[in-house]
Structure 1
């Protein structure tokens, strides 16, 4: 009889359980089915809590997961929690297969996944970071998983602004952090609002380590020390030549960037966040053309620590952490107000704590100005690498500012002033037009956010019917299959180039990739005249191509202007943009592999 080798079952229970902690969940599931003893040992709650910890970093807030981790292990059915996440992972992968494979129904599938929030973030990150050799449609998977992650982050941002709009919270740092959620795009998924809060916690902890007896300091001394600490930590504002660049309006980027460059509003918000963590009553002060911090002494106390006389007004001080570590006298601020023609009765308004909503809207205006400057080409040389190589992040930043302005600019803030109310309503109508343009052109899969957050703003207004129709048309367009264009059709036989080919524009010198074609120009007569199309060789009767340009814009190009190249495309086109239309880059053929076969089956 053959000798039997060493058996796992010969080991003590505690050793077997220790081995189970080293196994991947799939292996653990397989081995537990081999015997009743192993099955029993595999039910250990500590084992499944451990798997929840190491395999999933992100959880929907509804789980209250960190509170559960702190509970006695037997209080939670950890295996059920883990298996529920694994089932959701499988659903995400199945949905991802369909999203990457076909245009029809894509937006609805993306909505169904994105609505799960942070419970799908880990699996989407795995798809977002898939290697070229792991899937034949790796480009598409990276693009669409990234798009869903961005949508999830934007839904978190909108929830934050909903809390602010409804008065449930007045956290300026979180409301400003929502802007970062619109543009953040990192392979590791980090950098959300909670990560920003953790960085601010870290700054407060560092200050505490340097000043362990800070609780005994007066309000004035503590305030000045915090400003000095922040400036010593690199929060020095930004130089004049770089003032107003797009990244400087994002608090998360300022916290993470080594130079911590930021506009005054962001510097003040960071100061207030740290000061509040250290017990101070610190808020932003909405001064014209600049932002200061206002720190108020505790009730009944003076800034320098003495008792305040009964009935005396609370004492406050002003700080400008963007420019200086010194206190800014109120008299200086009043003098500046007089110099710009502000009436005396408005001084109190400008020198008191600002509504966080106003600070968020001021940031929206700063972002819009920065985007306009970039589009005019005045600022591109200085743009941080997170905003270079592709305009897609510029679109995202503009998208954030439009969302904030539309959602937070409230007519009830000016109740009683008919003309002011009408101005807000008019502005809202302009903004909804801008938002719809952004959604339809760049983010059509985010219509569900419009339906959830914007529709209630237009209740009982004439635009309500139009919005419902636009949303319905968007969903209907997503539902209906694209009509195929066959090259065998007589009118299409002369179309020379194919979807997926990369070219250099003969006149303007930019690189682009073909994403569609018409056998002749289908543009409006006005555009044809404006672009002087009839002067081109072949005029309007030659083939025209829908193209994706390296700067992320979509254009319509005549065949006579196209010079095909088989060189590798620019980085932005290859790694950031092309996945919306293509499966992968075929280096041997020198072109992209089409993911638009339902519409262009012969390309």
Structure 2
């Protein structure tokens, strides 16, 4: 009989189980739980809280601060119980995620239930989305793709909604708790949440930059301690600017001034370091504050500056022009600022408004204006980025200007998921004026009621008086304009507004408006409403066409789970998109029609 091992040896062995966010980490956690069932000795050992600490910290990057404080109060340093509490949230969120994918009816309620967990739900959805990150799935004619593509889409979409809820709550506290409730650096960093990038991603980039700056200053033997006799605040700020330029931060060239990627922290800290003034001041202020410098942004005309408050009462405060630092970084209050204001023809009596250090709200509003300005240029912006930017810009304006007309403009881009999550959970509570709250609530209610009506509709082609020639999931070529598109819905007749029909000349079509119309997305990423007489199935449809559509239409996995190909006919491959569960419920007969079409020889499938 093998003698039992001492407890400390068993603990040492069990500690070797790897902690990670992937499948291996999942197996490790399951192994820990199963060991507890072996006998009393193992149960006592597995109850050792320290065994779970690493697994908790590796799996959970984010948490909802209030909920985490409650867990700390309830469980203290018992990491096993804290881990167990988070896993309970994970399981609930995964059940809700499956319901979101399964059908459109009730989806908003399930999304709201997930969003109420805020950042407590982020990690499990991120892990779930990461499981399925793979290329577009192609199946043979007698196979069906799994739900991986669609599950990744919804996990990612819900995580983006969660991050938007976090960001808008953060900004809302500036209204509810005071303009100094959130630092300028944190408030600006949260703008990347609207593109699905978490606050810790931005903060880690800023922290890494600060560490590099300290090493740079140390190598050049520049003192950063104010008590050092050689310390110079002006020289230190100049050196920070030089360091940033050494890291390729600087003024963007004129042709790229309105590039949307100049405006989001996760990009202007990485790929777009040549950017506009406000992002450069955000980076400078973050680094300067970490070095103990009282730096703040200034809402100066034409370009944002950084204000430096001197601890020496005999020394004037001064300004840093980070954008123009390669020419002149330090600006004096008495000499340079009046000259700059005079160039802009500003009256001296209003000088204080433009030279005083400001808090986060004016800078957030300026970000919103920059976003809208970039959208109104000739620079081509992907549809998803355009929509995200519009939602961010109008959210900021609604929060801080509280203007009623902005609501209708914002809601032209709002979908049911937005209304059910960050608008209802964060934007409405974050506005401190009842008329705006009421206007947002009414608009949200309208979106949700429309979603409920549309979700209840089932499209049965067998019950339509008009013959529906094509099917959801079919790729086509437009007969007149030759672009490639894919059908994701249809109506038996044109249901667009009279204004749209008139503008598009629908009554001039051969079959007029009393023919089926198809909702489609196209190879350029746009969505269109196309008359049946203009739709022509391509003679062949290779894998490249499906892959390209998936690349340019980021919401495609909401409707389709993959591609079913029939490549039996040499040189003439055919394929169709496989319908997601919600589309199968909405168009229950289209899957069979598509499959029958797919099995026809290419020459017979032309309509």
| TM-score range relative to shorter protein | 0.7 to 0.9
Contact 2:188 2:360 (C-alpha < 8 Å) held by counterparts: no
User: What secondary structure does 2:537 align onto?
Assistant: strand
Unmatched runs of 5 consecutive residues or more in structure 2: 18-27, 138-143, 567-573, 591-607
Q: CA deviation at 1:447?
A: 5.1
Structure 1: where are the runs of 5+ without partners? 303-314, 381-386, 411-427
Counterpart Cα distance in 2 of 1:193 and 1:158:
17
Name the CA shift for 1:196/1:167 in 2 (closer, same or farther; >3 Å).
Answer: farther
Residue matched to 2:354? 350
Alignment of 1:86-165 (within 5 A): 86-131=87-132, 136-165=146-175
Contact persistence 2:464–2:492 (CA under 8 A): no
Matches within 5 A, 1:329-368: 329-330=332-333, 331-368=335-372
Partner of 2:141: none
Q: Residues 329 and 563 (structure 1 numbering): CA distance in 2 closer, same or farther, change over 3 Å?
A: farther
**Residue in structure 2 matching 1:61, options 58, 65, 90:** 65
Whole-Å separation in 1 of the counterparts to 2:116 and 2:195: 19
Contact kept? 2:161, 2:421, Cα under 8 Å: no
Distance in 2, Cα, partners of 1:468 & 1:547: 31
1:129 is paired with a residue of what secondary structure?
helix
Write out aligned runs for 1:551-570 (5 A).
551-565=524-538, 566-567=541-542, 568-570=545-547
- Say whether residues 1:491 and 2:465 are aligned partners: yes
- Structure-to-structure mapping, 1:570-581, within 5 angstroms: 570-571=547-548, 573=550, 576-581=554-559
Take 2:115 and 2:349, find their aligned partners in 1: how far apart are those partners? 49
Deviation of 1:193 after TM superposition, in Å, equals 4.6
TM-score scaled by structure 2?
0.82
Match status 1:36 vs 2:40: yes
Matched, 1:263 2:276: yes
What SS class does the counterpart of residue 57 from structure 2 fall into? helix
- Matched residue, 2:423: 449
Residues 281 and 304, structure 2, Cα contact 8 Å, conserved in 1: yes
SS of the residue 1:290 aligns to: coil
Partner of 2:599: none
**Structure 2 Cα separation of the partners of residues 126 and 220 of structure 1:** 46
Contact 1:285 1:354 in 2 (8 A): yes
Matched residues in 1 for 2:516 and 2:93: separation?
40
Q: CA deviation at 1:301?
A: 3.9
CA deviations over 1:86-116 (Å, ceiling 9, x no partner) = 2222112211111111111111111111221
1:593 — aligned with what? 578
Structure 1 residue 195 and structure 2 residue 208: aligned? no
- Indicate how the Cα distance of structure 1 residues 466 and 167 shifts in structure 2: closer, same or farther if over 3 A, else same: closer
CA distance in 2, matches of 1:100, 1:113: 13
1:437: which partner in 2?
A: 412
SS at 1:548 equivalent? strand
- Bigger Cα displacement from structure 2, 467-476 vs 534-543: 467-476
Structure 1 position 248, deviation (Å)? 0.9
Q: Deviations over 1:347-394 (max 9, x none)?
A: 333233234322211111111111121xxxx323xxxxxx6xx41022
Structure 2 residue 294 is the aligned partner of structure 1 residue 284: no
* 1:221 to 2:235 alignment: yes
Aligned to 1:536: 509
Match of 2:379 in 1: 379
Once residues 440 and 76 of structure 2 are traced to their aligned partners in structure 1, the CA distance between those partners, rounded to angstroms, is: 48
TM-fit CA distance, 1:208: 4.9
Q: 1:342 to 1:212 in 2, by over 3 A?
A: closer
Structure 1 residue 601 displacement after superposition: 0.8
Of residues 181, 187, 199, the one that matches 1:169 is 181
Question: Which range is displaced more, 126-135 or 346-355?
Answer: 126-135
Residue 407 of structure 2 contacts residue 440 of structure 2 at CA under 8 Å; is this kept in 1?
Answer: no
How high is the TM-score relative to the length of structure 1? Answer: 0.83
* RMSD over aligned Cα atoms: 2.9
Alignment partner, residue 195 of structure 2? 183
8 A Cα contact 1:151 1:446, kept in partner: no
C-alpha contact 1:21 1:47 (8 A) present in aligned 2: yes
Aligned to 1:312: none
Q: 2:345 and 2:96 mapped to 1: Cα distance?
A: 60
Alpha-carbon shift at residue 451 of structure 1 (Å): 5.6
Measured against aligned partners, the alpha-carbon deviations of 1:520-566 in whole angstroms (never above 9, x if no partner) come to: 21222222121011222322122100123344443211112223343
Deviations 1:196-246 (A, max 9, x none): 543454345434533463213122121212112212221112112211211
Partner of 1:424: none
Change (3 A) 1:191 1:56: closer
- Counterpart in the other structure of 2:398: 406
Aligned-pair distance for 1:126? 2.2
Q: Residues 183, 75 of structure 1: CA spacing in aligned structure 2 closer, same or farther, 3 A cutoff?
A: closer
| Matching residue within 10, 16, 19 for 2:13 | 19
Cα displacement (A) at 1:135: 7.6
